[in-house]
Amino acid sequence: MTAGNVYIAGVGIISPLGVGLAATEQALRNNRSAIQPLSLFSLQNPPALPAAQVNNLPASNLPRTHTLALAAARQAMQGWAQPPDAVIMGTTTGGLLTTEQLLTAEVHDQGQYCYHGLTTVAEAVAQQVHCPGRALTVSTACSSGAVALSLALRMLQAGQADWILAGGADSLSHLTYFGFHSLQLVDPEGSRPFDARRQGMSVGEGAALLLLTTIRPDKPLGQLLGAGLSCDAYHPAAPHPQGKGAAMAMQAALDDAALTTGDIDYINLHGTGTPDNDLAEAKAIRTLFPQPPPLSSIKGATGHGLAAAGAIEAVVATIALTHDLLPANTGCRLPDPELQLIPLLQPSSQSAAAVLSNSFGFGGNNGCLLFAQPDVFAAPPTRQHRAPLSIVGCACLSGAGNTEESLAGLMQTQTIAGMLPLETISANLPARTVRRLKRFPRLALALAAAAYTDAGLEQTPDSVFMGSGWGALSETYDFLEKLRQTNEQFPSPTDFVGSVHNSAAGQIAITYNATGANITSSGGDYSFEQALLAADSLLDDHSAPAFVIGADEGHAQFSPLFDPSILPGSSLADGGGGFCLHRKELPGTCQIRVPFYQNDTAAGAIDKLIAALGGKQTLLSDYGLLMAGIPAAADKAGREQLAEFLSKSMLNIPLVYYRQFTGQFASASAVAAVLAVQFLHRGELPSGLVAAGEPTALTGKKILILGLGTAITAMAVSGP
């Protein structure tokens, strides 16, 4: 493990204020607002509400979010020939704006929707910068960019990479523009955070990326010294009224960097301009800071860039550190006396050694980053070797039913693919809890409840790590359909709140009062593996148990358009797997880890996979079962990768193509992982899954779960 120094080697930014660091700095010095009436797309009922959009974006065949992200990536990598070891992107919209246009045009060609998935943004950036390793996607609503940077910090400190390109990107879309309007959270005069007459936010867009490294550059732009994550566990959209979650995240960032409130010279506020959010943040700051330092929100200038906001404000933090500029709280003319905070009303030319930057989002997702001048403060303590992730409870849902019913189907060599009725999924959930919830959050809650029951814990899990390839399809479809049916007048605010990918993880946090880290990963067919990676990176030895869940819903209209593995004429399948994990070596439990994850599948990838698994001898001696997950859309590539792996490793053990049983859906690997645990507890593989027709002993052996196709992943599950 390495020491904690993480330097900022490069930054890239594109926002409504302009393109690049110089343009952004000048706009902030001039206290200029880029909020103006929306013109990106036409409206059926003008006039347009104020929004903040990027102008003069270069023409591209890619969706708008991707184009924004690539522009920021080019800037961040300028002058650096060494590709990053990993890319971590925060986003909530992905290719949604393009999807909306295709739906309006009634396009039914699946290939036209190939960039809808959130993961495609990270994959596009990774391809452009020639990243040889992981391309990961975080989707925690408006804190996504900050959470992506937090995850990058942990991976770098743990020695998992030397260089990581991380940040966030989002574009405006009908869903976000009309969604926030449906919640009555848009200020018709433009966002004016912390003003006594504020009425709401202004939706924006943009992208920002930071090139982070543990190798000190000649001229670092600063250090990412600490990060803090928390969850309000209070409400799907509203913040905790006392700002408890926000205060927890700020304190966690200070503790992580081993600094005190007295070390902070400037706070970049989340400051959206909504009455409740600004009040909660003000209470959180007053809780921690007896005498707050200079502080301001820039969202009156940039608008709220959603997933990009935290990353844009991270770049603004580097401007504060390197250019002696503390930006004004643009739009605020008369500070609200109830908040008992006086933000900067004009830009201030003064130096800062340490900057705290806040980002909060739907689902109570809070992220706080601490930036500092290079080498001014002592390096954070070295992160020592950690215990493995032990499985204290697990459960799955498939088309056949719960864990036992799924196993029973497998033992009879039956498919367990399909979709359970909504009533069956919800059977063991409180009616009041699920009354307004649709299929995706009910799946997630049912998995969490079953895994928690299986664990038999007295202590409830404190953190939630969710993996989902497609998120809440029902809510997204219903919101857009209602928008169309009512001529853009009466979309559902409930569907909008539920449409974000992290909505299900937020519901789990509320149900179990899980106030720790709450992260949703969206890596397509490898989303569950990404959630496990996030858990492994963020859970320390002192951490409480955590939920790690992978789930996806089948949707009659959207699934066949978005998921290329749903071939014409094939039936829909969905479900998932849920785990309660503990960072302890516990007797009688299985353990799980992700020893390999790489998006680059070019020559040499299989050799790296074998090396990461300990080499041929370890594979031959340790593993008793191989479970291969090959998405139908990548069948040819996946089978070629598998053949190369078997040839080079000389592994000759039972092989199960688990998607033949689970059906094709993005989180099928989570079901496979739960089934692997069940096989190990039973000590054998059911005879129906083995070509020879005899049970295969697994005592003393591990199970290897490979994800193949557009990425190559490996999960290793070891027995009790």
Q: What is the CATH number of the domain that holds 18?
A: 3.40.47.10
Q: What is the pLDDT at residue 492?
A: 96
Quick check: bond before 47 cis, omega within 30?
Answer: yes
User: Does 383 have pLDDT greater than 90?
Assistant: no
Number of domains forming the structure of the chain: 2
Whether 709 is covered by a domain: the verdict is yes
Q: Which of 66, 174, 304, 501 is catalytic?
A: 304
Are residues 249 and 312 both part of a single domain? yes
Q: What is the pLDDT at residue 473?
A: 98
Are residues 368 and 393 both part of a single domain? no
Are residues 426 and 363 both part of a single domain? no
Whether 380 is covered by a domain: the verdict is no
User: Does 384 have pLDDT greater than 70?
Assistant: no
3-state SS, one letter per residue, for 317-373: HHHHHHHCCECCCCCCCCECHHHCCCCCCCCECCCCCEEEEEEEEHHHEEEEEEEEC
Cα of first residue to Cα of last residue in the chain, in angstroms, is 27
CA distance 431 to 625: 40
Whether 378 is covered by a domain: the verdict is no
Whether 122 is covered by a domain: the verdict is yes
CA distance 669 to 254: 37
Q: Which of 66, 181, 270, 501 is catalytic?
A: 270
Whether 382 is covered by a domain: the verdict is no
Question: What are 376's two structure tokens?
Answer: 């001014």
CA distance 350 to 375: 19
User: Does 691 have pLDDT greater than 50?
Assistant: yes
Are residues 364 and 397 both part of a single domain? no
Are residues 165 and 257 both part of a single domain? yes
Whether 2 is covered by a domain: the verdict is no
C-beta of residue 583 within 8 angstroms of C-beta of residue 541 = yes
C-beta of residue 471 within 8 angstroms of C-beta of residue 501 = yes
Arithmetic mean of pLDDT, 548-565: 98
CA distance 105 to 125: 28
Whether 383 is covered by a domain: the verdict is no
Q: What is the mean pLDDT of the chain?
A: 95
Q: What is the pLDDT at residue 493?
A: 96
Are residues 413 and 541 both part of a single domain? yes
User: Does 434 have pLDDT greater than 70?
Assistant: yes
Arithmetic mean of pLDDT, 211-219: 96
User: Does 2 have pLDDT greater than 60?
Assistant: no
Are residues 346 and 394 both part of a single domain? no
Whether 1 is covered by a domain: the verdict is no
Could you tell me the pLDDT band of residue 518, with boundaries at 50, 70 and 90? very high
Could you tell me the pLDDT band of residue 491, with boundaries at 50, 70 and 90? very high
Are residues 281 and 419 both part of a single domain? no
Q: What is the pLDDT at residue 382?
A: 67
Counting residues of the chain whose pLDDT is more than 90, the rounded percentage is: 91
pLDDT, tens digit, for every residue of 256-313?
A: 999 999 999 999 999 999 999 999 999 999 999 999 999 999 999 999 999 999 999 9
Q: What is the pLDDT at residue 24?
A: 98
Arithmetic mean of pLDDT, 437-448: 98
Element (H, E) at 168: strand 163-170
Q: Which of 228, 260, 161, 206 is nearest to 598 (CA)?
A: 161
Mark whether 114 is an active-site residue: no
Are residues 406 and 468 both part of a single domain? yes
pLDDT, tens digit, for every residue of 644-674?
A: 999 999 999 999 999 999 999 999 999 999 9
Could you tell me the pLDDT band of residue 623, with boundaries at 50, 70 and 90? very high
Helix axes 144-157, 309-323, angle to 10 degrees: 70
User: Does 121 have pLDDT greater than 90?
Assistant: yes
Mark whether 130 is an active-site residue: no
Are residues 147 and 240 both part of a single domain? yes
Its domain, for residue 442, covers: 389-718
Q: What is the pLDDT at residue 156?
A: 96
User: Does 507 have pLDDT greater than 80?
Assistant: yes
Q: What is the pLDDT at residue 684?
A: 85
CA distance 19 to 492: 35
Arithmetic mean of pLDDT, 554-581: 96
CA dihedral 404, 409, 411, 413 (to 10 degrees): -160
Mark whether 304 is an active-site residue: yes
pLDDT, tens digit, for every residue of 129-184?
A: 999 999 999 999 999 999 999 999 999 999 999 999 999 999 999 999 999 999 99
Could you tell me the pLDDT band of residue 541, with boundaries at 50, 70 and 90? confident
Are residues 252 and 111 both part of a single domain? yes
Are residues 228 and 298 both part of a single domain? yes
Q: Which of 66, 131, 142, 231 is catalytic?
A: 142
Arithmetic mean of pLDDT, 483-509: 96
Could you tell me the pLDDT band of residue 582, with boundaries at 50, 70 and 90? very high
User: Does 689 have pLDDT greater than 80?
Assistant: no
Counting residues of the chain whose pLDDT is more than 70, the rounded percentage is: 98
Q: What is the pLDDT at residue 3?
A: 52
Q: What is the pLDDT at residue 644?
A: 97
User: Does 477 have pLDDT greater than 70?
Assistant: yes
